[in-house]
Chains A and B, each alone.
Chain A
């Protein structure tokens, strides 16, 4: 590797990492929390068969799964202002990422809810719980455990997906790499650097996932 490129990479590293920690990570966390809230609500509506809201949930999942994430970003970012709603790029990104991944996670959680045996629910009723108490204390925690690996996948795919926010003017790692790239007239090397930082983030998450899975397994062992 030539020395100039190496210097560029070393010098830009703190800046890129800073954008990673200050933009990519919070953007991911916020989007993921939004996605999780949406997913639990949508999954519970379907699980509990709340008739009037079922078509809404189905439409939402159909719409999100049937259109590309990038297009969703563009539509929300460029169409909302035309109907008079002014939002910064960052909240738009959170909303789009949250609603997007929320649709996939809703399906994951619904499947996990349905895998909890009805006997758990009935036992809850028999010790005096009402529906929501049974869901909260018994069914959801078990479903969450079943869904955990798939939800981890969603989180990992989301952290990478946040790079698309650069296309709607959010200044994040990739945007910054482009800026530096333009200034120093380098090609390629900086993107490899960005890739390495994403890889580090995802490796960390995978490691965390496995640690948590071991912990969950200790607390309650295998779930049939």
Chain B
């Protein structure tokens, strides 16, 4: 098991937002986290990277245990070195160029030499098709381009898993495809990914497993094909139907 989260609970202002979430991720898994808006998907993902502090929960990652409520700064730093996070609104460093966005973590946090960092960065940017925009600033890029750079920024540190929080939700419809294509390629290359998404085609065809959440609980987990063809739970069926209705 590469990552295992057990009984993750989180309160906001006394309200229980995550009511004991369990998740297991194997190396090479692409897990789609589905669920209606407000069900706690973002909060759960952020807890896994300690952007949000869970009130309870056990995380095991890469053979190491991280008590989620009490992990130390050093533990959190170690976990973050082995993971990457892709945000819904990209969060590229606005005062840095494309190249700097990708190299800065390597140079400052990873103590890598500038020239080496640049080589690694250009490789990653080539993978996402952005190597021709090294000197552009985020404000000069489209949303889809920014998100691809953000993915490259995550890739350079050689993460064992990448967390994606609705990576295409802020994009104009015509830009979604280019980002999904990059993610599909990552999946083919064997990258382990945890993806909160509303893109049902991606969940069905690219992810191998689905976790469906509602109201701060896991309603159903299982292989993607099975989930889409024969959801076990009534709430899963309702959710899939509501999405189909919205499409028509």
Contacts and interface: CB of A to CB of B under 8 A. Distances in A.
A220 B137 contact: yes
Interface stretch (B77-85, B185-193, B200-208, B232-240): B77-85
A34 B244 CA distance: 63
Interface residues of B, number: 28
B51 A122 contact: yes
A47 interface: no
Contact of B104 (A117, A120, A127, A220): A127
Contacts of B139: 220-224
Given A142-B94, A145-B95, A224-B139, 19 more contacts: A119-B89, A122-B85, A122-B91, A123-B85, A123-B87, A124-B93, A126-B49, A126-B80, A126-B85, A126-B154, A127-B153, A128-B108, A129-B105, A220-B95, A220-B96, A221-B137, A221-B140, A223-B95, A223-B139
A120 B94 contact: yes
B93 A123 contact: yes
Interface in A126-156: 126-130, 133, 137-138, 141-142, 145
A142 to B, nearest CB: 5
11 contacts: A119-B89, A123-B91, A123-B92, A125-B80, A126-B49, A128-B109, A130-B109, A137-B96, A138-B93, A219-B95, A220-B139
A30 B247 CA distance: 64
Interface of A: 117, 119-120, 122-130, 133, 137-138, 141-142, 145, 219-224
Nearest to B108: A133
A141 B137 CA distance: 14
Contacts of A222: 139
B223 interface: no
Interface string B32-52: 000000000000000001010
A120 B77 contact: no
Contacts of B92: 123
B197 interface: no
Contact of B108 (A125, A129, A145, A221): A129
A119 B107 CA distance: 21
- Chain A contact residues, majority secondary structure: helix
Contact of A128 (B87, B96, B110, B140): B110
Contacts of B81: 128
Contacts of B109: 127-130, 133
B5 to A, nearest CB: 18
A182 to B, nearest CB: 53
B207 to A, nearest CB: 22
Given A219-B137, A221-B137, A221-B139, A127 B105 contact: yes
Contacts of B96: 137-138, 220
Considering residues A124, A130, A137, A222, which has the most beta carbons from chain B within 10 angstroms of its beta carbon?
Answer: A137
A223 B104 contact: no
A127 B49 CA distance: 11
B157 interface: yes
A109 to B, nearest CB: 15
